Structure 1
């Protein structure tokens, strides 16, 4: 078996099982861990990087953060989570599937979604819309 072919067929990032976060401190630790992972694993020339949350009841939510915003791409099959996002962050839903939230809503958002997440996956090359940024960290 050729190892170069094997490495091409293997995904670069793999889903990680989710452990529900119960306190704002748990969320802060999770954010720090993922910021470090992004800094180590994402190449400087890569864009569209963030985290994909696979929801236990179906669907995916892609998230990217920058210094001033949290960008969410809520896939159509995850639209059922919109009322929770509204309740957790106090924001109004957008007309499409791209949400732009103030950066100070990140902890509340993750804490609110925590019990509904099945796994997470680092992603690159995702289109986060016009507001999408290059940087997670």
Structure 2
């Protein structure tokens, strides 16, 4: 009896990093959001929680983002804490005591424009712990 090939679909990760293309205008951001939302609606299972996007920064660190109807949750890993001043400048937010930022939903475009030149890749994630603020995305 033969074994399935090593590259069988069960062995492959469900989501893969996508190389980042810099977003230069608010229209670029709006288009990325629309395309990304469509992809997530097509691929995320209804029972999944901790749904969001991981942004891998080109010079180091990961930032996880989850959007809800009224907020943007931003989990800035310790190795990416160096971007805190940029997030504050782009969104006008105060730095939180912990690593999870809660931004109003109207700050998403400014946030993505501010981060865009620093991002190496994006990846859809599920099961990420956004702490007590975690909500289902869909």
TM-score (norm 2): 0.95
Looking at structure 2, the residues matched to 128 and 7 of structure 1 have their Cα atoms a distance apart, in angstroms, of 29
Correspondence 1:13-32 to 2 at 5 A: 13-32=15-34
- Show the counterpart of 2:108: 106
- Show the counterpart of 2:35: 33
Looking at structure 2, the residues matched to 4 and 116 of structure 1 have their Cα atoms a distance apart, in angstroms, of 35
TM-score (norm 1): 0.95
Correspondence 1:1-137 to 2 at 5 A: 1-2=3-4, 6-135=8-137, 137=138
- Please list every run of 5 or more consecutive structure 1 residues that lacks an aligned counterpart in the other structure: none
Looking at structure 2, the residues matched to 14 and 22 of structure 1 have their Cα atoms a distance apart, in angstroms, of 24
Q: 1:5: Cα distance to partner?
A: 7.8
- Please list every run of 5 or more consecutive structure 2 residues that lacks an aligned counterpart in the other structure: none
CA-based RMSD: 1.3
- Relative to total residues, which structure has the larger helix share, 1 or 2? 1
Aligned residues: 136
